[in-house]
């Protein structure tokens, strides 16, 4: 589980700007190349989103954040350490939720937001959605 003793309300899937989620949402979202290669879907908790943006989306002008209801996927989530060889040291961010043997679609997705990076970077963009980006 995460560093918190309580279960999260939501998990967040960060999606590259070149592959926005379809609108309307499908029954099942397609897997990203990274998820296909890894054998699981990568998620972040609300407190981990900033680090994920800075490690994997540093040069991107925007991303899509998909907010997934944790209870809808909980039975297929494994909480795992991030590996340093993929993105460098992420110590202090806790265990990351990875979804195995399942997919998400409109039934599990609460909402989607487009997050646009400002000249100041991702921190300023995250402030604009802090009421939505909840644990």
Instruction: Judge whether 43 and 95 are in contact, CB under 8 Å.
Output: no
pLDDT tens digits, one per residue of 70-113: 999 999 999 998 764 444 455 556 799 999 999 999 999 999 99
Look at residue 93 in the predicted model and tell me its pLDDT. 61
Q: Tell me the C-alpha to C-alpha distance, in Å, between residue 67 and each of 21, 46, 129.
A: 12, 9, 12
SS3 68: strand
Domains and CATH numbers, the chain: 10-126 (3.20.170.20)
Q: What is the pTM of this model?
A: 0.89
Q: Which residue has the tokens 């989620």?
A: 21
Torsion sign over Cα 117, 93, 12, 126: negative
Look at residue 1 in the predicted model and tell me its pLDDT. 47
Q: Is the pLDDT of residue 3 over 80?
A: no
Look at residue 79 in the predicted model and tell me its pLDDT. 94
- Partners of residue 115 on adjacent β-strands: 63
pLDDT tens digits, one per residue of 24-42: 999 999 999 999 999 999 9
């Amino acid at each position: 589980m995460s560093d918190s003793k309580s279960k999260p309300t939501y998990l967040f899937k960060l999606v590259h700007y070149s592959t926005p989620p379809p609108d309307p949402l499908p029954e099942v979202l397609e897997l990203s190349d990274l998820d296909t290669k890894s054998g699981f879907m990568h998620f972040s908790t609300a407190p981990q989103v900033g680090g994920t943006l800075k490690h994997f989306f540093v040069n991107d002008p925007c991303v899509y954040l998909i907010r997934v209801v944790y209870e809808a996927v909980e039975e297929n989530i494994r909480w795992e350490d991030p590996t340093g060889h993929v993105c460098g040291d992420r110590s202090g961010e806790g265990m990351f939720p990875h979804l195995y043997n399942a997919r998400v679609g409109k039934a599990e997705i609460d909402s989607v937001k487009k997050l646009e990076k400002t000249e100041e970077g991702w921190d300023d963009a995250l402030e604009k959605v802090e009421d939505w980006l909840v644990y």
